[in-house]
A and B are shown apart, each in its own frame.
Chain A
Amino acid sequence: MTDAYIGTATGTRATTDEIKSDAPQRALGLHRELDRTWANDPGWRGQISAVNHTTLGLRFMGTALVFFAIGGILAMLIRTQLATPEGAFLDTEIYNQIFTMHGSIMMFLFAIPMLEGLAIYMLPKILGTRDLAFPRLTALGYWCYLFGGLILLFALLGGVAPREGWFMYTPLSGATYSPGINADVWLLGVTFVEISALAAAVEITVTILRQRAPGMKLTEMPLFAWYMLGTSVMMLVGFPPLILASVLLEIERAFGWPFFEVARGGDPLLWQHLFWLFGHPEVYIIFLPAAGALSTIIPVMCRTTILGYGAIVAAIVALVFLSFGLWVHHMFTVGIPHMALAFFSAASVLVAVPTAVQVFAWIGTMWKGRPDMHLPMYHIMGFFLTFVMGGLTGVMLAIVPFNWQAHDTHFVVAHLHYVLIGGFVFPMMAAAAYWMPQITGRARIKGLGEAAFWTILIGFHGTFFLMHLTGLLGMPRRIDVYPDNPEWIWLNLTSSIFGFVMTIGFALFALDLVLQAWLGPRSPRDPWRAPGLDWAMRLPPPSYNFASLPGPGRLDGGAQAAQGLARGEGLLPGAPRGRREVLVTGVGSARPELIAILPGNTALPLGLACAIGAFVLMMLSGLYWLTLPALALVAALIWVWARGMAQGHDAAPVEVAPGLSLPVHIHRHDTLGRTGTVCLLLADGTLFAALLFGVGFLSVVAPGWPPPELTGDPKLGAGLIAGLVGGLGLGAIAVRLGLRAQGNGGAVLPAAAVAFIANLAALACLIWLAVAVLDDPTRHARDALRGVLAGYAGLHALIAAGMAGYALDQARRGEIAGTRAGCMPAWRLWQDFAAVTALIAGAILIAQGSGA
């Protein structure tokens, strides 16, 4: 009976060669049918309820450009101040706010959202699917980004912006030396924005792994997808240390728990380690998507194929791993052991190798083909010139003795701008020139783009080339006046003048984009004769991307594949069931496995972002008790969110192609949601590992140890910890029994009920532990860390209880029954994770009690 709902035998085992084509239909009819299902709501409502990746990708990129303009204006204020040695244009307080905000905006509100936007817009089109894996999450990410960014902007307008520099070193950013809300604005605002980074990372990873067109093997997928996969994995692993550091510093500032304060056992270097554990991978997070664009565009511009696909993939993987092993090169002057200096120096130098492999693969591609100097190629030449120089100064800075001289000087300012503008902005401008016809359906107006390119190139090198010398002549970063150093005047004045030239160039570039979108003549369907699936559609792209999905034999057709797909000759044609359906394929082989039904338009992401925003604002205002109702609202909305996709009845298998029927996701365990949970837990596990690093680091390295004696009863503590771990472990067993019962057609309710109670009991043990055993967390860093470990376990137990409660509700409603597993596969992952982390945290708590 239930077999009817898990797909035909051929369906689940279908190899990609067997898939047949559908019969052609009328393209216009298909378009209307699909657009009814996939389009945004009309009018203003459509703006707040949109979850479509094309809309949101453009919105991310558009908003990022606005922040780029704001960051650029701040840069011009900095350059105006520095044009003369005793600039009276800004006072020091405002100047400090402005350079802090310039860096923070460019990193967190321009570069990261820009690459997210590009990936969100492009990936489904390049991979041959209709949307990202979690459309509501895309929208949530956007709203979090927007609101977090607005908090930072309003703080700037109100004169209370952060002023401690974009890396916010403690103790300068601590409560003693930064009273007021300036630092809190940074910690809370940026963390709010990071929700969007994690959301994007999760769904980019899942989309690349599970939504590639059938037959697009992992080892043969377009390089852009490889680059984005590397980026998103790095984001999943790179952002949690920053989020942890921000949370710890905010707790220290708000509640007085010491983590970075020396007098109470903290260490300011813990902040630096956590920050750069994020901060260095961040550079590659920014560079990889840009390199992905280059690997896509260069072969097209040279009318050839990429040289060294395998070597480039190997280089990406090497960069992902290496970039996490060299954060210490930002800390060469903090006084670390010399062997460590040598090791991190070598690692920092080594990271240049995979970069060099890519650069030479691109040059080899150009040799192999015939480069045409279209506009994207201008920007690519700008990239080569600028990025090679930035890379070389990077190697110089990796050499410790030179680093000791150049660190914290304008040499570093010049270097990082060569890397970021060379390695990100020039490739992004190439990408804009390349994809604007795809995005707008219009060709550009000739001449303006070239003028913008030359102005930017001249302005950029005029600003930053001589700045290397400024640094070597001893000018440190982050100073606003230099009355005693007339030898720096001509250098700074030159930088300032060319800085304004560069700004004019960027204004021309923006004007070019606007004019193209607004007045440009209609673009031909394949302006570059590019092979990718991103061109196998109408321009500008329809809401659903592909009327029928590309399959084997249609994966590199470019615009030639468009017509057949639009006529429904591919897979899963149209939207006959009025649902947003996408095809889910296997991770390595890209064999079709199931049909995922995606959610439609909803304002729920906006509501949830508002609730999170309310929490952030309550924290900022110091109204800490009012954060609790905000958190309750967040939890309630997440429940509603989950309910939105719950289904209480079976869904018939869907015919994907003649002779190939696939089950709908509710009948399968290996859903997109489960892959997404794995990604989320990877990030969560990294956060936990960063916390363990913090515990180890402070225990071993911090000056103010050993801490005072623990006062709690160790036997009671051990018993309560056993209760916590036992409760979560019992929950994990109950989930398995529940899943087995569901598989056998038995009742799931009892198992869910047992798990719910076990999780609550675990939580009760933990609260008891916190009240009766743990010492005052404000006493010493050790006690504060114990509080955080307990809080981490408690939060996970609470969420596990929430998931058990949700499963209980689903079992009661009959949503977990037969072949429908409901939330159980995802819950099982969470429950196991919560139990294992609680076990580790508990073991540490006990060991701290029995140890020295």
Chain B
Amino acid sequence: MGSLFRSEEMTLCQLFLQSEAAYACVSELGELGLVQFRDLNPDVNAFQRKFVNEVRRCDEMERKLRYLEKEIRRDGIPMLEIPGECPEAPQPREMIDLEATFEKLENELREVNQNAEALKRNYLELTELKHILRKTQVFFDEMADPSREEEQVTLLGEEGLMAGGQALKLGFVAGVILRERIPAFERMLWRACRGNVFLRQAEIDTPLEDPTSSDQVYKSVFIIFFQGDQLKTRVKKICEGFRATLYPCPEAPADRREMAMGVMTRIEDLNTVLGQTQDHRHRVLVAAAKNIKNWFVKVRKIKAIYHTLNLFNLDVTQKCLIAECWVPALDMETIQLALRRGTERSGSSVPPILNRMETAEDPPTYNRTNKFTFAFQNLIYAYGVATYREVNPAPYTIITFPFLFAVMFGDLGHGALMAAFGFWMCYKEKPLQAKKIDSEIWNIFFGGRYIILLMGLFSMYTGIIYNDIFSKSLNIFGSSWRNNYDNSTLAENKLLQLNPDSNDYLQSPYPFGIDPVWQLAESNKIIFMNAYKMKISIIIGVFHMLFGVCMSLWNHLYFKRRISIYVEFIPQIVFLTLLFFYMVLLMFIKWTSYGPTPGKLGSNDPEIIKTSAYCAPSILITFINMMLFKTDPNTRPQCDDVMYAGQMGFQKLFVIVALLCVPIMLFGKPYYIMRERKQRAQSQPLANTEAAAENGGVAGAIQPAHHADEEISEVFIHQAIHTIEYVLGSVSHTASYLRLWALSLAHAQLAEVAWNMLLRKGLMSKGFQGGIFLYVVFAGWAAISVSILVLMEGLSAFLHTLRLHWVEFQSKFYAGEGYLFQPFSFEVILDSAGQAEE
């Protein structure tokens, strides 16, 4: 097994495959997913490659499958998931069978669809005709009504009846039009025919199905009466323009009745035929739905294999294919085995040859991960992929990330909510994974389920340390503070102090975490917590950074940069230790050596006053004075000037040594490189050929060769940037860790505000109806707690933690200039294809 400490060792290999065996071998490698092939013909475009035809055939098959899938979706038939194992990539000869199957299916489906469409159109026409006959019957009935006859006569008058003899016979057309077009249609008719036509219309109540788009549309029946041929052509043109369909409508009532009967029988016939067509289509689709996922996998695998084969070089004899690939050195055996399996499957007798190659190229970075480490590794990769064989920060991130998060998010209640959510996701991992929920936010949460679980658990821990649960505290072990004031003092004063230098404090601290009494200290709780949390942040920060610098030692040792150890690592660690680690030490000295002396509480003995809290110096002022070589005049004559004997001398020494480290960091490496080059220039004329041979052959020669192509001025500039970044960085990064304090303070305050503004309102209400009020208020408080305190504050703490890792920690040792190992793997290809499709 590979380790998480560094990325895997990779080797570039040359692979000779016999043409017949190539397909099977690549298919086996795809199942394995451990080999990254390099493109050996990068200047050949996609259409000139060897297996273009096959790739194209696969594309065509995929298109047909997508068509099938679309049709299946349209009918709402469930597609079966692949039961059990994924199917293996089929043999190339099976491709023809698949092609034939898909071709047949597609043609059948297309034919069925065409028929169905024709039938539907026919059906639509008939139903429209049916409606016309039914509706117009009303109009004709009105016309034939004997009571109206008189009206007609009086309206038209004698003249009208006589004019032109038979010309009074009115012509008519009947048809169907979309309902929303009626008003425009009517107006147009009126204008174009100058009011000489008569339009009657009636709505069809049931919606009709449009055969082309299969939408439901509402239509109206109309009938237009007019006189003369000219008007008839005009009316017909207008109808055409409005896409109204005209139907022949016989004038005689008997004919109409006969026609209506005919239409009805035809509609019934059509209905049975349509039903049969639908049944047939459904049968075809159900059969296809059983296999479609399987087919998709097969076709995608074939396509991927041919794509990969396209990357290979063809041997001159055309008998074998040559591939170059990156392979994890530890997996050579497994790959050999897979290749042998592939050869056996293809029935070829010549085994493939896997040949290690020497190369000066940087290999890809490959870290083996499991479902737990995967998310943490991804956090690191999001910043930059590690340089090949560089120390990988991921294993430490697994602990430091949730811990630093928890320092900012310390609350037992909120941590428990988060841990419960994380635990649920981890517990229900398999069913949730199988569900394949598409929501992006959910996928982010689910991908980071182990991070969330750990963050929650760590927050619970820090919550207990801070003694903070939804801004209240738990008094588990009994507080160490007592109230010694008498009743009259208590009654008269609003605020009273408890003096630790008296019997108010039992002189033994609360066993675990912060004393619960601080939660009730209205006036100085924040002052106390700030002093504690700020110091804790700096201590954690300095240790985190020191650890980061130590990691760089492993990098220097591994890459054999001896000189970097002397002129970079050692001065760096000395600088950081003498200045910032010393400050941390001062904090511990302050914590341990100042405070009340048990047994002599409130004593005025000068020796005891010197170690009392009154004499405790400010660490920050001490540190600033140390950097400026300055001493403040002592304003407290009872106290000592220094925290320990010889403090001033040590501090001066520390600052001077730390400052001396800067020029070493700045000029050490460029000077060394300059000297080395000079030496080489001197020795080169003597042993020119020898040196060249040695340099070329030895792998360790990479380092000097790398520097040789840099100008010396560039080396200086590079080193100067690096040094300035480190020196200024260690100041600003130390300050940056104060965000641990700031966010923790903000979180605690927000939690308190939420409690006081909401839940307290419920608790403060009097009487038993307060219980009902509390029930309502609790729901609001819970919603605020989850949305603002857990989600938003959690996100902000997460981002700050990420920054602390990326900038403050990793800048000490991590270059992140590598590129990722992307093996040829069916799993990855199928996953991404599945996602792109949805």
A binds B: no
- Contact surface of A with B, Cβ cutoff 8 Å: none
- Contact surface of B with A, Cβ cutoff 8 Å: none
